[in-house]
Amino acid sequence: MKFLIIFFTLTAAACSGSVPGGTVQEGASLLTGVKVSEVNDNLVRWTLNSGTARFEEGETRIHFDMPEMSFFENNRPASRLTAETGFLNMTRKDAQLEKKVRVESKTQAMTLLTSRLFFSSEKDKIWTEDPVTIYKDNTVTHGRGFTAKPDLSEIEITRQETTTTGKQDAKKKK
C-alpha cells in the first residue's frame, strides 16, 4: 500500500524572506523546512526536501524553492535531483522541476543537466523535451527529448550527439 507522508517542520511561516514560485496569493500558506516522501510497503521510494515552499488555497500543488529530490531502491540512495524551482502535484504525485536541473545517479555513476524535468511517481520516470547533457566517465552525450528511470537507468534520448574526452584510442595515434 502506498502512502504519501508530508512533514512540515514549520507551517504557515511569516511572509518575510523569499517566496517560492513568485507572488503570494491571498490565502496562501508559506512553509519552511518541508519534506515530502512516498512510502510503498514500508520502503521509501522518494523524498522531496525544500527550505521554503508555498501552498495556494484550493490548489493541489506545492511550489518549492531550491527543491532536492532523492530516489531510493531498497531504502538505499539511487539518485539525487536538484533544481532552483519546482512544484509537486499532491494528487498525482507528479513533479516539475526547473532552472539548473541536475540529476546525479549513484547507481549508474552519471550526471544529467537540463533546464526543465518532469517526474511521474506512477510511471517511475523522469523526462524532458528540452536539451540535456549527460556525463559518464569521459563520455559526454548531448541530446533533446529524454526519458529514463529516476536513477538514470533505461535512458532513451530522441536526438543525441556523443563525444569522448580524455585519452585517444591507441589506433588513432598511429
What is the domain-level CATH number for residue 66?
Answer: 2.60.450.10
pLDDT digits (tens, 9 = 90+) for 111-157: 999 999 999 999 999 999 999 999 999 999 999 989 999 999 999 98
Q: What domain count does the chain have?
A: 1
101 in a structural domain = yes
pTM of the model: 0.77
**Confidence check: pLDDT of 169 > 50:** no
**Confidence check: pLDDT of 171 > 80:** no
Q: What is the three-class DSSP state of 60?
A: coil
Residue span of the structural domain in which 107 resides: 2-167
Quickly state the pLDDT bin for 11 (edges 50, 70, 90): very low
37 in a structural domain = yes
172 in a structural domain = no
23 in a structural domain = yes
124 in a structural domain = yes
**Phi and psi (nearest 5°) for 171?**
-65, -35
28 in a structural domain = yes
36 in a structural domain = yes
